[in-house]
């Protein structure tokens, strides 16, 4: 059983821990081995501001011990907004018949990827609606073409659930992380929110991560659309899902996304379950302490100011300059999946992360050297990833400075690189990093550890 609904319903009603219990849970979490569902439920029940402060501080400290100061940056690339599902909250839903639909040709997808590359991105997440006319062959073809015709170094995919053989083909095309969100793990609410289309099948969607790992994807990305049901239930279910993957395959979910329900064209008029900014910060912190190896992804659904808060309390990945419609990076005005709040360019996000005293990272190394799945989870939870993350963030930021950074941000980025270099603790690695930085200045590119 992946999700024990009865147990999670009970745990989602947990009461706030006492000071002694909180200290005990946070001390256990500080070891970087994760937390059980009961402990996570207690943390999600916290309302006291002083306790919340302790929770956020513990999550921020653990994030830095596991991954260093680096914050990974990426962009989504929407291939198609055609969809045969009836998701009540989504702009792409099939019932929006009068909306402008668009499926990029492979050449157009390449052009969108090149537009992102010109900004400085090195990783891209392909996103598509569910329509068999633009299914596996189309998505795999886009993956292959982007590798062949652009400088993108890793292509991830957020695509509808498939059978194992199809996922093997997608992996063979070169896809890095396979991502699909359950939306809500609460079965009755799932049924209400997904009244038609293939997505009606709760179990087929829930089990897709097992099939993806069986198909060779070491890294998978999960998430719930927070606001469809009680956030405490869906947060606990996300942790339980990751724990299931770990017990079955030896690897936690590589990423856990935290999308919060946003308005969409002809979507829900009222939000079923509201959660405040404070609630979302708490979810991020609990994810960080419960699944320390996971990348916690904060999208442009959230405001610039609030995303700066989230990276202090556990988030480690940010999308930037995002367009949620096909052709958006080339200026097309087609149907968006949802509205965004943070409209900053990549350069503006880089500068913001630097100004927070953190290290923007455009790293793509782990997927290319096989540091994925069980190996990544093991290294992250044993404290061995921080040195790689820190050094590779310095290298990719240096490359960004040399090739893409402009204007007044150059000085700030150069200072961040210098500070990031100083904070590399391993002397042997530091010496090798200095050599690679020199090689970048001499014209070499794509250097990593």
> How far is it, in rounded angstroms, from Cα 157 to Cα 180?
9
Q: What is the mean pLDDT of the chain?
A: 96
- Which SS3 state, helix, strand or coil, does residue 323 take? coil
Q: How many CA atoms lie within 13 A of 207 on its CB side?
A: 8
Strands (E), 174-284: 178-179, 220-223, 255-257
Indicate whether 267 pLDDT > 70: no
pTM of structure: 0.97
pLDDT of 97 reads 83
Indicate whether 266 pLDDT > 60: no
Q: pLDDT tens digit string along 5-62?
A: 999 999 999 999 999 999 999 999 999 999 999 999 999 999 999 999 999 999 999 9
**Average pLDDT of span 414-422:** 98
pLDDT of 100 reads 81
Indicate whether 333 pLDDT > 90: no
Q: pLDDT tens digit string along 71-95?
A: 999 999 999 999 999 999 988 999 8
Q: What percent of the chain has pLDDT over 90?
A: 91
Cα torsion 141, 144, 147, 148: sign: negative
> What DSSP designation does 265 have?
T
Question: Do residues 155 and 146 make contact, with C-beta atoms less than 8 angstroms apart?
Answer: yes
Indicate whether 270 pLDDT > 90: no
pLDDT of 287 reads 98
DSSP 58-111: HHHHHHHHHHTTEEEEEEEEEEE-------TT-TT-TT-TTSPP-B--HHHHHH
Q: pLDDT tens digit string along 201-228?
A: 999 999 999 999 999 999 999 999 999 9
pLDDT of 265 reads 61
Q: pLDDT tens digit string along 377-402?
A: 999 999 999 999 999 999 999 999 99
**Average pLDDT of span 353-358:** 97
> How far is it, in rounded angstroms, from Cα 168 to Cα 247?
22
**Average pLDDT of span 275-280:** 96
- Which SS3 state, helix, strand or coil, does residue 58 take? helix
- Which SS3 state, helix, strand or coil, does residue 163 take? coil
- Which SS3 state, helix, strand or coil, does residue 411 take? helix
**Average pLDDT of span 108-121:** 98
Distances (CA, A) of 286 to 54, 70, 153, 429: 12, 20, 31, 32
Indicate whether 268 pLDDT > 80: no
pLDDT confidence bin for 337, thresholds 50/70/90: confident
Bridge partner list, 178: 157, 220
pLDDT confidence bin for 367, thresholds 50/70/90: very high
pLDDT confidence bin for 363, thresholds 50/70/90: very high
> How far is it, in rounded angstroms, from Cα 87 to Cα 358?
38
């Amino acid at each position: 059983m992946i999700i024990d609904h009865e147990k999670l319903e009970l745990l989602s009603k947990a009461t706030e821990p006492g000071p002694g219990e909180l200290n005990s849970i946070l001390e256990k979490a500080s070891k970087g081995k994760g937390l059980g569902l009961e402990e996570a439920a207690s943390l999600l029940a916290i309302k006291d501001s002083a306790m919340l402060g302790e929770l956020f501080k513990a999550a921020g400290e653990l994030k830095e011990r596991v991954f260093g100061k680096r914050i990974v940056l990426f962009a989504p690339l929407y291939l198609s907004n055609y969809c045969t599902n009836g998701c009540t909250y989504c702009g792409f839903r099939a019932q929006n018949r009068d909306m402008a639909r668009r499926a990029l040709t492979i050449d157009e997808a390449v052009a969108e990827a090149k537009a992102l590359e010109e900004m400085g991105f090195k990783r891209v997440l392909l996103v598509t609606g569910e329509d068999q006319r633009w299914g596996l062959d189309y998505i795999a073809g886009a993956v292959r073409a982007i590798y062949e015709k652009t400088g993108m170094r890793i292509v991830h995919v957020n695509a509808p659930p498939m059978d194992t053989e199809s996922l093997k083909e997608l992996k063979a095309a070169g896809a890095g992380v396979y991502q699909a969100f359950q939306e809500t793990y609460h079965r009755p609410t799932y049924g209400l929110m997904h009244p038609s289309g293939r997505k009606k099948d709760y179990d087929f969607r829930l089990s897709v991560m097992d099939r993806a790992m069986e198909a060779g994807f070491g890294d998978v990305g999960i998430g719930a659309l927070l606001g469809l049901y009680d956030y405490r239930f869906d947060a606990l279910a996300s942790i339980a899902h990751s724990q299931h993957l770990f017990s079955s395959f030896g690897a936690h979910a590589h990423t856990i996304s935290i999308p919060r329900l946003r308005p969409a064209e002809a979507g829900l008029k009222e939000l079923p379950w509201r959660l405040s900014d404070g609630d979302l910060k708490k979810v991020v912190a609990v994810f960080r302490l419960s699944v320390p190896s996971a990348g916690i992804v904060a999208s442009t659904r959230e405001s610039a100011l609030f995303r700066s808060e989230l990276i202090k309390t556990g988030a480690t990945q940010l999308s930037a300059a995002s367009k949620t419609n096909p052709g958006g990076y080339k200026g097309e005005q087609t149907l968006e999946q949802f509205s965004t709040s943070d409209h900053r360019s990549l350069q503006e996000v880089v500068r913001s992360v630097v100004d927070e005293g953190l290290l923007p990272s455009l790293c793509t190394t782990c997927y290319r050297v096989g540091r994925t799945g069980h190996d990544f989870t093991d290294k992250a939870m044993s404290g061995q990833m921080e040195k790689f993350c820190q050094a590779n963030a310095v290298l990719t930021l240096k490359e960004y400075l040399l090739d893409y950074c402009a204007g007044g941000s150059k000085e700030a980025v150069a200072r961040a690189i210098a500070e990031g270099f100083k904070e590399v603790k391993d002397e042997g690695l530091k010496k090798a990093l200095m050599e690679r930085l020199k090689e970048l200045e001499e014209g070499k590119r794509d250097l990593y550890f």
